Amino acid sequence: MSYNYIELITLILLAIGCFFILSGSLGLIKLPDVFSRIHAAGLIDTLGSGFIVLALIIYSGFSLLSLKLLLIPIFLIFTSPVTGHAIALFAHESGHKPKGKNKK
Amino acid sequence: MAKPNKDSLKTLSFITYFIILFVFWFILSGYLKTLLLFFGVISVLFVFWMSYRAKALEEDSLPLKIILRLPFYWIWLFKQIFKSGVTTTALIWNGKYSPQLITVKASQKNRTGIANYANAITLTPGTVTIEVDKKIFLVHALSKKLSEDLQTDDMNKVITDLDK
């Protein structure tokens, strides 16, 4: 019975993670300019992958494997802001102006 | 107890770095045989030597003081990420975004703190640090609410306190 309980939690967390990834992908298409689209990519990086890895940790139980899984979000936490910042800085330097008050 | 001078602090941070590297090696490999553990120590020493040679082990880049506070800070950061992530998701779905540029002042003293703050801003969905000019950040925010959250200076204070 407790096995099913764990599966249920895993399922819910996976669904939440998938929802955030879907929202991020939608934002990547829908938002107006480069800078806004970076926000959507950041959403996928942090919350999407975070919830999915959390679900996998709960599913696999506590072992060496779950520690390895825990390393994935830790490295994402250090690397994803750097890539986001690099894209934003390059877009800024090459003269892209963020779209201002003119919301759709 | 003797007053901790600069050298002993440096040694302590070296030892901490060594332990972190070895734990990392162990998590990735999972071997417990003596011979393989010995090889692990050798590879850790090699990485240690390389980072020493690359001057990555100066006291600014290896702040020993904050290591104990780091888990609490991460829990706090996860909360922030979740909150602004939900806001950003809502903005994407209902389309009421109004992107804007703001400037934010950082009050951290060393380079690690400033990098930490800039990364934390980028890491929370909805705000991206575009440019770092000494202690003033140019930040792009997805909506007015998100930029106002940043301008309340909470995150700045927490990260400054991390290094006290």
Q: Which has the higher per-residue pLDDT, A15 or A46? A: A15
Which range among A19-23, A62-66, A74-78, A99-103 shows the weakest confidence by mean pLDDT? A99-103
Q: Which of A23, A68, A85 sits opposite B122 (nearest CB)?
A: A85
At the second CATH level, the architecture of B70-162 is 2-Layer Sandwich (3.30)
Look up tokens 């942090």; give the residue. Answer: A46
The nearest alpha carbon in chain B to A33 belongs to B99
How does pLDDT run across A12-40, given as a tens digit for each residue?
Answer: 999 999 999 999 999 888 888 888 888 88
Cα A37 to Cα A16: distance, rounded to the nearest angstrom: 21
The C-alpha of B4 sits at a distance from chain A's nearest C-alpha, in angstroms, of 31
Residues above pLDDT 90, as percent of chain A? 18
Contacting residues for B123 by C-beta, under 8 A, at least 6 apart? A42, A46, A77, A80, A81, B77, B81
Domain boundaries, chain B: 6-53, 70-162
pLDDT at A81 > cutoff 60? yes
Other Cβ atoms less than 10 A from the Cβ of B6: the count is: 8
Question: B27–A67: do the CB atoms touch at under 8 Å?
Answer: yes
Q: Which has the higher per-residue pLDDT, B14 or A25? A: A25
The nearest alpha carbon in chain B to A89 belongs to B130
Amino acid letter, A27: G
Interface test with B, best of A22, A39, A54 (most B CBs within 10 A): A39
Question: A47–B81: do the CB atoms touch at under 8 Å?
Answer: yes
Contacts of B78 in chain A (CB under 8 A): 50
Interface ipTM > 0.85: no
How does pLDDT run across B58-114, given as a tens digit for each residue?
Answer: 766 666 777 778 888 888 888 888 888 888 888 888 887 788 888 888 887 777 788
The nearest alpha carbon in chain A to B84 belongs to A43
